[in-house]
Structure 1
């Protein structure tokens, strides 16, 4: 197999790896054993499932794959950088999609894969994530500023293939606490969600509420408020909330309608949720300190790691507004992690064989079951049956048409230089802190948005 290595210009351009990559190009990666590969991941929750897949792969091919995790994320990046200097990178790495993969590709640490990945291989992924790891026009434009994370990539290059996908706006509910409150099934509408919160809070005033890591304020905005606004208003009027026409922004009747709906959560937040980061909120839910939690598809594996049985939770997409323009919105999947090959591997054929093996539907389904995470591979009904109720419900949240799917990755309607954390902080002041009314909140967000547009002009 021919692996295209990055040109000298890329090495010079790569901000993430400048100064350490030239030494890496002279080294070899992996164990050097022709019957053994090495793989690294930053996801501890993936290790057991990857090792199980590796055992099956060895039975089929005779090639052993050793899997190791380096956590947290910062330690993983540091490990890659130090190993690039000494030339002992693994053969395959799982990393964040459309960030680390492209940055390391620009720097020559990971291989260019367009000659490796066949069309038949790519066809296993849903079209919405098929270009993850690939430098299309949009990614090339994003890379052009000197300070861009993956400055130096070249159009048409591929530096990873999708491995796991997910989305935000997934609600988790404690089955026992819902049963104790007389709730026999998870809510399917926004009004039903508020009613369920009211019931669990009435049953257990201390622990019956909703948890979310609002110390990271963006979670309230992007995981709840924005998909809720999409459901209530439909795509066009939702996007107009961030536009220049003040008759349609957050201070308009449409904006007030969305904020009043969001404000219905205020009495039901878990005490102190605004001081918790994402992991702390997840742990609080796993410990029974809240009846509901909002997270992402990726949250389930962390809950399991925190001691919670996936069979003890309901998982479902954030319910839509029954009288909204999109009463039952679907959630668009995002590529979360991808698989990259070291540019210095001395076993590119076997490394590619392992990466391709993980993309097979039957292998991806077994991985998903073991890791409590969703694979990038599109699964048929027979394979999806292996997932269990929670994962199957999350997979079903992707089912929708282009007209009914909220796409969290599309940002074309935001003003230039938009910083969502500032908008999100205003939202937290309304709910849960109850310092602002919906009308005051809408005005503040609109004023901030206007400033972004004015600055952009």
Structure 2
């Protein structure tokens, strides 16, 4: 599963467990069985789609260095988290972990599972990463402030500590369309505006009401908020007014005229959700799309690899960024890239220098290009023309780019899952109106401001 940006329930549970069970890491020593062999490392990942690409890179790494890297996958995410927890108790962790960037890496770091890489990533290494994500894995001033919240999942981290380096990058808000279903509905190109997107949904849904809608894993409460509403609101309102939605002033928050406007626009999708979308996980929604149960799916740049795993060919899919309203403040809005997964060095690795060599090797331009080809995922490294067409959605100026990394206008402690739960009553559930939803979101956000 691919989680939405920021926190989730799994991390809260993990943090609670690690606080109690991982304090003996330093005493346990050793990492898996690799400590007994100075030319053998072990790495774990939670993404099955990355295994082939990582093993291919490991073969090349062995040819160049003589160091063997064993790659193991444990899926889905909850199984991976349990595996890390149980192995941490026995000191049987690998040398390197693939982690969810800017979330899970901090939880592991706070618990002592992973090592602090501060001042260990030279410019020659970090300079390979896309500018927007080169500092991913670092506890920024904003992240440190978040760590001090009462219910933080990564209490105890210190500002400027670094617990991962980027492996894959991408963004949310990418729409996937089934080319065959589009053709059957008379659609020959990707919608260029929000209005055209709605017209396309109407056409595919009219052609086949059962399988012509759009799927999204709305069981994960924040997906509708972060993958659809927020990019839509940014395009409609512009950067400044978008930020005001999360502010203390009711004149600009979700209960305002602007808030009602974007909530009403989002509500226009309501007739077209695939039946049962509110009960689907992200993977289940993507599987439904791959099985032809919907004409459109909303995901991220990472979704293509999962669709291919589930039998859908890339040539059968049309992918494009969530379109902007034609009369909005930013009709040509871009989507900012974020780090999706990273690489962390475990605190118990007996070969930290070799492990860091492997981590750095994966960021090499040629290696990253091969990784992208093998995994159908976007690497964190700058690849220029080698990036897929989805990278077109990244092209924009600072003012025209919706950047999910920027959250400083939100109140401390803000929980997007709680906001997403309020939004779900509007759509797909249809239990509330745009005005009612706006009032509830306004109250929720204002409570965060008053309790900081």
**Superposed pair shares fold, TM > 0.5:** yes
Equivalent-residue separation in structure 2 for 1:440 and 1:87 (angstroms): 52
* Equivalent of 1:326 in 326, 330, 339: 330
Flag the 1:16–1:303 CA change in 2: closer, same or farther, 3 A.
farther
Whether 1:98 and 2:77 are equivalent positions in the alignment is no
Equivalent-residue separation in structure 2 for 1:346 and 1:49 (angstroms): 25
Question: Aligned with 2:236: secondary structure?
Answer: helix
Shift of 1:190: 0.5
Question: Aligned with 1:408: secondary structure?
Answer: coil
Equivalent-residue separation in structure 2 for 1:125 and 1:89 (angstroms): 27
Q: What's the counterpart of residue 173 of structure 1?
A: 177
Q: What's the counterpart of residue 425 of structure 1?
A: 421
**What pairs with 1:155-166 in structure 2 (closer than 5 Å)?**
155-166=159-170
Equivalent-residue separation in structure 1 for 2:276 and 2:87 (angstroms): 42
Question: Aligned with 1:202: secondary structure?
Answer: helix
Equivalent-residue separation in structure 1 for 2:221 and 2:89 (angstroms): 38
Tell me if the contact between 2:176 and 2:317 (Cα under 8 Å) persists in the aligned partners.
yes
* Equivalent of 1:234 in 227, 234, 238: 238
Tell me if the contact between 2:35 and 2:349 (Cα under 8 Å) persists in the aligned partners.
no
CA RMSD across the alignment: 2.3
Q: What's the counterpart of residue 263 of structure 2?
A: 259
Question: Aligned with 1:339: secondary structure?
Answer: strand
* Equivalent of 1:394 in 377, 380, 390: 390
* Equivalent of 2:140 in 124, 131, 136: 136
Whether 1:127 and 2:123 are equivalent positions in the alignment is no
Q: What's the counterpart of residue 158 of structure 2?
A: 154
Shift of 1:196: 0.8
Tell me if the contact between 1:30 and 1:88 (Cα under 8 Å) persists in the aligned partners.
no
Tell me if the contact between 2:117 and 2:162 (Cα under 8 Å) persists in the aligned partners.
yes
**What pairs with 1:58-457 in structure 2 (closer than 5 Å)?**
58-144=62-148, 148-381=152-385, 383-384=386-387, 392-456=388-452
Deviations 1:297-319 (A, max 9, x none): 22222222222122211111100
Shift of 1:55: 1.6
Shift of 1:371: 1.1
Tell me if the contact between 1:341 and 1:351 (Cα under 8 Å) persists in the aligned partners.
yes
Equivalent-residue separation in structure 1 for 2:414 and 2:112 (angstroms): 31
More displaced 10-residue stretch of structure 1: 174-183 or 59-68: 59-68
Equivalent-residue separation in structure 2 for 1:146 and 1:224 (angstroms): 29
Q: What's the counterpart of residue 6 of structure 2?
A: none
**Unmatched segments (≥5 aa) in structure 2:** 1-17
More displaced 10-residue stretch of structure 1: 333-342 or 107-116: 107-116
Equivalent-residue separation in structure 1 for 2:88 and 2:353 (angstroms): 21
Equivalent-residue separation in structure 2 for 1:18 and 1:404 (angstroms): 44
Higher-Rg structure is 1
Flag the 1:432–1:81 CA change in 2: closer, same or farther, 3 A.
closer
Tell me if the contact between 1:164 and 1:373 (Cα under 8 Å) persists in the aligned partners.
yes
* Equivalent of 2:42 in 35, 38, 43: 38
Deviations 1:427-449 (A, max 9, x none): 32222333333333333333443
Flag the 1:214–1:342 CA change in 2: closer, same or farther, 3 A.
closer
Flag the 1:27–1:58 CA change in 2: closer, same or farther, 3 A.
closer
Tell me if the contact between 2:26 and 2:348 (Cα under 8 Å) persists in the aligned partners.
no
Q: What's the counterpart of residue 5 of structure 1?
A: none
Equivalent-residue separation in structure 2 for 1:157 and 1:442 (angstroms): 38
The number of residues matched between the two structures is: 435
Shift of 1:240: 1.4
Return the TM-score normalized by structure 2: 0.89
**Unmatched segments (≥5 aa) in structure 1:** 1-13, 385-391
Flag the 1:430–1:26 CA change in 2: closer, same or farther, 3 A.
closer
Deviations 1:164-199 (A, max 9, x none): 122211111111111111111111111110111111
Whether 1:53 and 2:57 are equivalent positions in the alignment is yes
Shift of 1:295: 1.2
Equivalent-residue separation in structure 2 for 1:38 and 1:419 (angstroms): 35
Tell me if the contact between 2:26 and 2:347 (Cα under 8 Å) persists in the aligned partners.
no
Question: Aligned with 1:397: secondary structure?
Answer: helix
Shift of 1:145: 5.1
